[in-house]
Amino acid sequence: MRSKYNVPEQEPPIAVPRFSEANGFYTTPERSAQMSKIRGRKTKPEMTLRKALWHCGLRYQTNTKDLPGKPDISIKKYKLAIFVDGEFWHGYDWEQQQHRVRNNQAFWMAKIARNMQRDRQVNRQLVAKNFTILRFWEHEIKKNLGHCVAQVLAHVEDVQQFGVKK
């Protein structure tokens, strides 16, 4: 889980080159078909976490449009926003992993950097609304679902018990 307190000040947006043939980016029909199957919502790790939380008796909203960043799971009653982030798209261990990008590096490096920057901006906006932010990596949910659920339940119990978030 990434810390909710790592929220730097406002930063200028990173420019991402447009993905087009005019800019020298070429793609095959096979690659386009693969990329079209990548989901932003209802991913397997997200659905696994949602199912586990529902089984624990927690009721939540998904992709809430009136909250910054449209959290994957939100519980407004407890001022909790939960994101399930993919390792590639959100830059897990990016300093070590970025060398693996081989095609269209200019685009993908800027794209991932912009995604990480957007995550920081969303965190700032949610903290300003007094929300607690939990961000889980896909591999955390796949390998240690119980720990992820326990973190969510611990926050809910703290709010129920003390009436304020930690």
Structural domains in the chain, sorted by start: 40-162 (3.40.960.10)
The answer, as to whether pTM is greater than 0.85, is no
The pLDDT tens digits for 14-52 are 877 766 666 555 667 776 777 777 777 888 999 999 999
> Helical H runs in the chain?
29-36, 44-55, 87-90, 94-97, 105-128, 138-143, 145-162
User: What is the distance of C-alpha 4 from the center of its chain?
Assistant: 12
- Give the C-alpha separation, 19 to 40, whole Å: 18
Tokens 């001022």 sit on residue: 79
Question: pLDDT below 50 — which residues of the chain?
Answer: 4-5, 166
- On the 0-12 / 13-18 / 19+ scale of CB atoms within 10 A, 137 is buried
Cα-Cα end-to-end distance for the chain: 16
- Give the C-alpha separation, 10 to 121, whole Å: 7
